[in-house]
C-alpha cells in the first residue's frame, strides 16, 4: 500500500465540523482511499472509502482532490463519541488481504 501522511493530532469542539486531512502524493490510478477509525479499547471501524469522486455516507463525507494527491475526511458535527484515532489508507485494485495502519490522527473533541 502506498504511503499516506496525516497530522498526529487535531482538536475540535463538540457540534462543530471537523476536517481531517490526508496526503498521498504517490497514489496510483487504481488506489482506493479508505478511512478507518479506532476508539479506545475497540476494534477499528470502517468509516468511508472512495476512488475519484467525493463520497457521502451516514458517518462522514470524503472529499478527494482533483489530482487525488490528497483527501479530507469530514465529520459534519463532531460529538464526544467521535474522539478516536483516524487512519487514512490506500488500497490498490490487487491490494491483497492485509490492512496496514500508519500512525493516524488522534482526534480530541472538547465539550
Partner 1 sequence: DVKVTQSSRYLVKRTGEKVFLECVQDMDHENMFWYRQDPGLGLRLIYFSYDVKMKEKGDIPEGYSVSREKKERFSLILESASTNQTSMYLCASFRGASGAYEQYFGPGTRLTVT
By CB under 8 A, name the one of 8, 29, 81, 97 that touches partner 1.
97
Q: Is 32 in the site for partner 1 (CB under 8 A)?
A: yes
- Candidates 45, 53, 36; CA nearest to 91 is 36
Under 8 Å between Cβ of 18 and 79: no
Give the per-residue contact string, 48-87, with partner 1 (x = CB under 8 A; - = no).
-x-x------------------------------------
Distances from the Cα of 102 to the Cα of 46, 54, 78, 89, angstroms: 15, 23, 23, 8
Distance (Å, rounded) from C-alpha 68 to C-alpha 26?
9
**Nearest CB to partner 1, comparing residues 89 and 107:** 89
- Positions that interact with partner 1 (CB under 8 A): 30-32, 34, 36, 41-46, 49, 51, 90-101
Amino acid at each position: 500500500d502506498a504511503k499516506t501522511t496525516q497530522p498526529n493530532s487535531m482538536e475540535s469542539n463538540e457540534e462543530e465540523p471537523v476536517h481531517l486531512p490526508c496526503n498521498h502524493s504517490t497514489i496510483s490510478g487504481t488506489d482506493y482511499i479508505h478511512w478507518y477509525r479506532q476508539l479506545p479499547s475497540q476494534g477499528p471501524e470502517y468509516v468511508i472509502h472512495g476512488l475519484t469522486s467525493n463520497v457521502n455516507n451516514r458517518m462522514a463525507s470524503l472529499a478527494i482532490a482533483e489530482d487525488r494527491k490528497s483527501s479530507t475526511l469530514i465529520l459534519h458535527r463532531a460529538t464526544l463519541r467521535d474522539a478516536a484515532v483516524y487512519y487514512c489508507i490506500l488500497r490498490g485494485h490487487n491490494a491483497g488481504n492485509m490492512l496496514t495502519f500508519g500512525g493516524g490522527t488522534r482526534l480530541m473533541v472538547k465539550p
